[in-house]
Chain A
Amino acid sequence: MRWLLNALSTSVGRKVVLAITGLLLCGFLVAHLAGNLLLYVGDEGKSYNDYAHALHEQAALLAVAEVGLFGLLIAHIVIALQVSAENRAARKVGYAVTRSKQEGRYAAEGYRPDTWMLVTGILVLGFLVLHLMDFKMELRDKSFYLDSAGLDAKPFEKAKNLLSTSNLITIVGYAIGSFALLGHLAHGFQSAFQTLGINHPKYTPLIKLVGLLFAIAIGIGFASFPLVWSMSH
């Protein structure tokens, strides 16, 4: 299997790994967002709690999924950092002036998502760490995890506590993280297809459109919890 390692360690191979892990992580985002959207069901958290309960029942499966996701994430991050560092190093002496030649790009110089992947990626990573601290590891202030009776709160209750307007760290962190995710996906989704060799005059425009809509849906979807849902609870 040395051939596989060799093949995946070239500049093209590593991008392929980046694309595949990225797309798989997109799949996770869809599932996660779908689950979270249950917060909006107006039944005082019953659906959401049931969902969380059902999920945690599958302990073995969950463990496998978590390890898998963690693996994908680590691979994605490590390769991304490595590739970024190498790409930067490929031009030791820079230009005094640079200006895009892409049509319509001039005005938006520097604000296109594709040139900010490292930054948005790091912001999303920060968001993820905070999110895991909040919900997974429960490392924040104990009061967030207790209900009014001082007992261990149900998931819905915890979400309400953590996403309360008084917990600015979470609100602001999640909002920034969600928009960074939007930016990251806006380039990443369609770029992954190009990297995997999928470029066709009939389908590429569609892929680009879907990628943009996907990024907006995921980004706005996640941003809605700190910005919309939290206000109404």
Chain B
Amino acid sequence: MSSSRGLNLTLKIWRQPGPNARGEFRTYEMKNISPDMSFLEMLDVLNEQLIQTSEEPVAFDHDCREGICGMCSLMINGQAHGPDRATTTCQLHMRRFSDGDTIVIEPWRANAFPVIRDLATDRAAFDRIITAGGYVSVNTGNAQDANCLPVGRDRQEKSMAAAACIGCGACVAACKNASAMLFVSAKVSQLALLPQGEPERARRVTRMVAQMDKEGFGGCTNTYECEAACPAEVSVSNIARLNREYLRAVVVSEEGV
């Protein structure tokens, strides 16, 4: 890292000691940050500095740091996962910023994602939505040969495109209504497109939507901010499919009678 390339930055970070504590923005000056660093590595550097000055490091969720586990988050200058599309915060690099920039970093905001500490939030609501029906009821051992049911390639690819969801919650964070529709629709679509998902279609969508509402997410008003923020590029056409599945469950099936 040559010092001439280093960036000097001002960070405004949301600090909140606990779930029920009051939070506030605190400002930190960062000197000589390498443009080759990832955004989270830049926060690592900050935390090392904080430890040296006996301030508690900033809490933020992260794990794989290669864009797939969905654990990292952060609202960076008002954008979920920062300015790049199709990118998680861990894959965002500092070369995207300029010397002298001020960067505002906030946690995901939604009633359904309460803050645990600083920038870390609780996204267990997503798990509970999957628990309500995001699966195929098949016990281990009773599967038939994998090639028994052909699946057209376009269906498989559409299913995969929906299944690519990493469950990070950026859709909720970016939505003005804090709606979880893109997340829910991704799982509903993945399984609705496959013959394996067919038997439970109506029950699945009905229960998952009910759970989504129960968690306190907002509704979808088709502003599509979710799609733009999604690091896995899950399409809003899945939301239409969820709506379709839902109507089908209401009108055609005997589910919910």
Say yes or no: is A16 at the interface (Cβ < 8 Å to chain B): yes
CB pair A191–B222 under 8 Å, yes or no, is yes
CB distance from B158 to the nearest CB of A (A): 11
Q: Which listed residue (A83, A89, A93) contacts B109, Cβ 8 A?
A: A93
Q: Which listed residue (A11, A15, A92, A194) contacts B236, Cβ 8 A?
A: A194
Contact A15/B256 with A99-B77, A101-B225 known, Cβ cut-off 8 Å: no
Contact A90/B218 with A96-B104, A98-B78, A102-B228 known, Cβ cut-off 8 Å: yes
CB distance from A208 to the nearest CB of B (A): 11
Contact A90/B223 with A194-B236, A194-B240, A196-B243 known, Cβ cut-off 8 Å: no
By secondary structure, the B interface counts as: mixed
- Please give, as numbers and ranges, the residues of chain B lying within 8 Å of A86 by CB-CB distance: 218-219
The interface stretch among A2-10, A55-63, A147-155, A224-232 is A2-10
Query: Which of under 10, 10 to 19, 20 to 34, or 35 or more describes the interface residues of B?
Result: 35 or more
- Please give, as numbers and ranges, the residues of chain A lying within 8 Å of B247 by CB-CB distance: 16, 196-197
CB pair A13–B246 under 8 Å, yes or no, is yes
- Measured CB to CB, the nearest residue on chain A to B80 is A101
State the CA gap A89–B178 with chains docked (Å): 9
Q: Which listed residue (A99, A105, A114, A199) contacts B241, Cβ 8 A?
A: A199
Q: Binary interface profile of A, 15-46, with partner B (CB < 8 Å = 1, else 0)? A: 11000000000000000000000000000000
Say yes or no: is B106 at the interface (Cβ < 8 Å to chain A): yes
Query: Which B residues from 219 to 257 make CB contacts under 8 A with A?
Result: 219-225, 228-229, 236-237, 239-247, 249-250, 256-257
State the 4 A-B residue pairs at the shortest beta-carbon distance, nearest first.
A197-B244, A199-B240, A90-B218, A97-B78
CB pair A12–B221 under 8 Å, yes or no, is no
- Please give, as numbers and ranges, the residues of chain B lying within 8 Å of A204 by CB-CB distance: 237
Say yes or no: is A218 at the interface (Cβ < 8 Å to chain B): no
State the CA gap A105–B228 with chains docked (Å): 11
CB pair A90–B225 under 8 Å, yes or no, is no
Contact A117/B229 with A12-B209, A90-B110 known, Cβ cut-off 8 Å: no
CB pair B111–A91 under 8 Å, yes or no, is yes
CB pair A102–B221 under 8 Å, yes or no, is no
Contact A97/B221 with A91-B109, A91-B110, A194-B240 known, Cβ cut-off 8 Å: no
Q: Binary interface profile of A, 75-119, with partner B (CB < 8 Å = 1, else 0)? A: 000000001001111111111111111110100000010110100
- Please give, as numbers and ranges, the residues of chain B lying within 8 Å of A10 by CB-CB distance: 209-210, 213, 246
- Please give, as numbers and ranges, the residues of chain A lying within 8 Å of B222 by CB-CB distance: 114, 187, 191, 194-195
Say yes or no: is B126 at the interface (Cβ < 8 Å to chain A): no
Say yes or no: is B177 at the interface (Cβ < 8 Å to chain A): yes
Interface centre among B85, B112, B225, B229 (most CB of A within 10 A): B225
CB distance from A43 to the nearest CB of B (A): 44
CB pair A95–B219 under 8 Å, yes or no, is no
- Please give, as numbers and ranges, the residues of chain B lying within 8 Å of A96 by CB-CB distance: 12, 25, 78, 104, 106
**27 A-B pairs (CB sep. < 8 Å):** A3-B250, A7-B256, A11-B179, A11-B219, A12-B219, A13-B250, A16-B243, A86-B218, A87-B179, A88-B177, A90-B112, A90-B178, A90-B217, A91-B109, A93-B109, A95-B75, A96-B78, A97-B106, A101-B80, A102-B224, A191-B222, A194-B240, A195-B243, A197-B242, A197-B243, A198-B244, A199-B239
